[in-house]
Structures are given as structure tokens and as C-alpha cells.
Structure 1
């Protein structure tokens, strides 16, 4: 029996998307634009919305205690995202490498569910994060390299990521076996962990990279983070939803303005990739904040 609601939602989303991908294969197969549009709403909520309460989290974690610190926090948050964006334009491959490393750690840390000792917790963090990046890079290398190309990443650098992904996945399998051995006496925990790893693996093997990541990001990673925020702030899910609306709405208006001024039927996908780079840069301070507050036992 599946106890965690985010796992149930993730499973249901996989089942629904399997049906959609089979019925509408001619619409979504190898079509990045249609795949992006399919997930536009869930990418906004719960996707982007899961980072909309960063200010409240920083306040609760005593990182922000007054208006002056709030101003400094906002300036640093925006400045870091802006500087990373400029750095990406000048040094795309180096910036992308940093972004991937941050993503591996962030996804692994945020989605870790096992209460392992500190010296063992990195095993789960690395294993989880590597699956998200490594599997699609290996299974769908041509698709991934095409996406990378839109992000100003060269083919040679894509091949380097491919070979590193093989190493990461090999290590992940080994680490997962170690983790299973460590929790073998905790049957329910072990079964839940294995089932989630199976779902993540299936998702990134069966679906094309953009669809797989959107399913994972929206319906597992973001939902899990929002549920932790609900518990952290001790509020109902409805109250949590309303709290996320202001920042999420601003993001939604920003995206809508792009689609109003750009004709998606005539422009190159590179304009959407610029939007992706911008949003990716905005997640950098979010990832740093979340990893910071988890280290001080917040959002566990």
C-alpha cells in the first residue's frame, strides 16, 4: 500500500501521461514545443509555485528577521539569478555544468526520504540526483543533445555529459544496493524507497526527456516540497495554495506575455530556450536556500 500522497500523485500522473502519449503520439512525439505547451500549467503550479514561498521559509528559518534583511535577501536573490544568467550567456558550458551539479544535489537532497546517518545520507542524495540527469542522457542522448544545443551547449560537451552519466548511473546502482542493505530490516521503508526509485527509473526510461522531467518535477519533486511547506507552516493545503498565488501569478503573467508577443508557429525554439535559461537561473538561489534550510533541520 502506498502511504505517501506525493508517490500516489506521481504514479497517477505517469499512468495518465502513458495514455496521453499513446493516444496523441503524433502530436507529442519528438515535438518539444507541444510537450512544453502540454505541461505549461503544471509547470507553473505546482512546478514554479513550489519556490514561491522562499521569503516565508527564510523568515521562519531566521535568515530574515527584519525589513532590512528582507531587502538584502531580495536583492541577493535577484542579483544571484541575474549574474548567473549573464555568466551563462558568456560561459554557457561552465555555467551549465555548475547548474547540473546544483540540480543533482538539490533533487537528491530535497527528495531524500530515508533517515540515514549523515555520513550515509550522501549515498541517497547522489543516487537520486544522478538518476534524474543520467538516465535520459544515456537513453535519449540525441534528444538530450538537441535540448542542450538550444541552451548553447556544444556537441562535444554533450558527449562528455553522456560518458559522465554512464559513470553516475553505474555508481547510483551500486549505492542503491548499499542503501537497501542498510535498511533491509525496515521492510516498509525499504519497499517504499524501492517503489519510488522504480517509478522514477520507469518515468525517465519510458518517456522522452522533456516529458519525463516535467512529470517528475511537477508531480513528485514540487508536490513533495509543497507538502513539506504545508507541514512546516502548519496550514491547510488550501491556505498553502493561496499563499503561493502572488509570486506564481507574476510568473504566469510573465510567461503569457512571452506567448502573446512571440508567434510559436513561426519562431525558432531558441526563444523558448532563453525563457528556460532565465527560469533555470532563477532556481539557483532557490536551490541554495532550500539546501541551506535543510542543513539546519528545516523542511525535513
Structure 2
């Protein structure tokens, strides 16, 4: 992966190329290139889903991270930097994708983390780096439906400001989306209210917001998917898992399950996939979250 300096330098060169290209091609309205609809760029899947729900038929939404690609590893092409430069709005979360952080225009971007109360970055002291950029919070906020509902409301306001002709439609869709997320939250709260164990042993610490919202205890084998756990860390987690009667070690679709499988063998547990929704699932955000709920209920011994 590029260093912070080389990435910033590359983005600077790409931005310069974009300006020259725009000048050469004329100054037509780049922000409304798709049939008069504002161009809105989403950084990765959960934000794509949310933006499509709120934008509806009034916005043209594109996503920077292709399905099956680990978002944290994204490097932008010249075309993608151009898309960000031309977009009416870019929706992202600072700290997830350093390349996107470097490329966005502060005046034409919406950092979803600014709309909610964030949690401290797991295992880090404030000011240390998370996925390559200095942030003091856990960026995986989309795994709490109530926080994502708040983001939906704020996104509706930002789209309304960018496209006043359809302002009320954006706000109405944002309210509808927030309502659907509220229903999902109620399902999780009820479904996880009577679990035998509250310990959530995960491949990496992506589920802090879910754990915080539903009174679970997240125990990550690693802080992030790029970090190899030490033997001491695996031993520590194994000891805790045995003590708390953990029966399932959770893996992820985009992360190798090998470490989780080693731990599961030590503990005498099985593995199951818990989707952090960093990439497009087979269904959509709501259905994938409901699948996560079923997986959690089985693994944690919930009776509701």
C-alpha cells in the first residue's frame, strides 16, 4: 500500500490532470452529467446502499469500491479521482479509506462520522493511525442501525442542499429510510435480549458499534484485517473464550478464516460468518443485517 506522502502526491497529480482535462473539454455541468441528475459518489457499500435509498430516482449514485474488494485497501484510479472532483457530493467515512480521504473536496463531501457520536478506536490511543489515517474513533458506524438512521437524515439534508429542486423528496426518502432502520434496530434489540453469552469473538474488531448498541462484548482477534495476531493474543482470546463458554468464533467473507479456525480448534468451538458489510452482500443492507441477527442468535444461544 502507498505511504501517506506518496498517496497524497499521486492524488495531487491526478487532481491536476483532472483540471486540465476539464478545461480542455469545456465547462459543462459535470455535477449533473447523468440526465440532469446530480452525480453522487459513495465510498463503499453501506454508504452506497444508504445513498441510493435517500437519493432515489433523483440522484445518480456510483460507488468507488467494487464488490468483493476489501475497502481498506482501495487505491483510486485517475477516473475515480475525476468522478470525485466532478461529483455534487461524495459520501464517505474518514479513516476507512485513506485514498478517498486524500481525494475528497471538503465543500462537496459528507463524512458520515460527523453526523453521529462515534466510539473510540478499539485498542488504540487517541491520535494513532487507523487504516493509514489519524483518527481517534472506530469508523464502522454503519453496524449500528440507529446511527445509520441519523446519517440518513443528515444525508437527506445534504442532498436537498445540493439539489434544491428535489429537496422535499430527498428528505421524505431519508425519513422512510430512517424508519426502516428503526424497525431493524427493534428486531435486533428483541432478538438479542435473552442470550446465554454476550461475548462476541470476531476475526477483527469491526463490530464495536453493534456490540455497544445491543450490550454485547466484542473480543477481536486482531484490530484490523491487515494485522497478524501474535501467539500471545491468540492464547489470550482462547482463554477468555473458554472461560465464557463461547461456542462460535466469527469469520468474515473478505478475510482469511485461518486464524479464526486455529482459535476455534483450540477452544473446541465452530466458526460462522458474521458480515461486517464492507462489501455488497447477496441481498442488501437490511437483509444482510437480518442474516447477521440470525447468526448471532444461534451462536450466542438467544431464546427470543
Normalised TM-score (structure 1): 0.26
Q: Quick check: which one's strand share is greater?
A: 2
Q: Quick check: which one's helix share is greater?
A: 1
- The structure with the larger Rg is 2
Normalised TM-score (structure 2): 0.26
